[in-house]
Amino acid sequence: MAVSPKEEEERPTHVSDPAMEFLLTEVLRWVEQSCQKPEGDEESTIFAAEMAASKLERMGYSVGFRLCERLAQNKTFGGATGKDPAQAVAASQLEAVKFLCKEFWMEVFRKQIDKLQTNHRGVFVLKDMDLRWLSRLPPNQENARVAAIQMLAYPCGLVRGALANLGIPAVVSCDFLADGTNMSACSFNIKIK
């Protein structure tokens, strides 16, 4: 069935936020159940939680890699001539992270990252003061904090996958900002390998 250009323009291009949050929580529940072992001791419970976070991170990596491929198909990073090679590499890494903070983050969360910090030696800190997927979690509850930590594995994977697609291998971790009472304020720490 052929679609007219007008109908094509009217189609929504994004998934609704509640649908994405529901999907993410259901994926988290499925991952937790698939990683649980019959033993009930504390060590196996911790191991199962780590396996669940690892699985979510790999899912995020795959999605981030493919999404970045689509978003950056006509972009070039670097290409500064006349600089020494180390400066050129650092400049291209900074451009790639800026792309991630502006365009990639806009596509995923419908807003740019709130703050980007770097030491110009391959370490970047991306701060998001209101991460959409965590905004509905209740503050000051330990089970909500544990769920938030597990859910943050997915955006860490998104960031790592996007950077890998741009040819930048990195280690990505995430922390809550301040005292952890605001679950949606977090920072993503990127260490270029």
Q: Which of the two residues, 28 and 112, has the higher pLDDT score? A: 112
pLDDT at 75: 79
What are phi and psi for residue 174, nearest 5 degrees? -140, 145
Instruction: Quick: pLDDT tens for 39-79.
Output: 667 777 778 778 888 999 999 999 999 999 999 888 777 65
Q: Is the pLDDT of residue 171 over 90?
A: yes
- Report the pLDDT value the prediction gives residue 71, as an integer from 0 to 100: 92
In the sheet with 186-192, reading across from the earlier edge strand, the strands are 115-118, 123-128, 186-192, 170-176
Q: What is the per-residue pLDDT for 1? A: 55
- What Cα–Cα distance (Å) separates residue 24 from each residue in 31, 116, 182? 10, 26, 20
Distance CA 21, CA 27 (A): 10
Q: Is residue 128 pLDDT above 80, yes or no?
A: yes
Task: Please report the pLDDT score of residue 35 as a whole number.
Answer: 77
Higher pLDDT, 45 or 1: 45
Could you tell me if 74 and 81 are in contact, meaning their C-beta atoms sit under 8 angstroms apart? no
The confidence band for 121, taking pLDDT boundaries of 50, 70 and 90, is confident
The reported pLDDT for the residue numbered 61 is: 97
User: Is the predicted pLDDT of residue 11 greater than 70, yes or no?
Assistant: no
Q: Is the CA virtual torsion 30, 21, 129, 193 positive or negative?
A: positive
Q: What is the pLDDT of residues 85-120, one digit of tens each?
A: 888 888 889 999 999 999 999 999 989 999 999 998
| pTM for the model | 0.84
Position 111, amino acid: K
Top-ranked range on mean pLDDT: pick from 32-36, 144-148, 157-161, 178-182:
157-161
The whole-number pLDDT of residue 33 equals: 80
Average pLDDT across the chain, whole number = 84
Q: Is the pLDDT of residue 36 over 90?
A: no
At a CB cut-off of 8 Å and minimum separation 6, what does 177 contact? Answer: 127, 129, 185, 186, 187
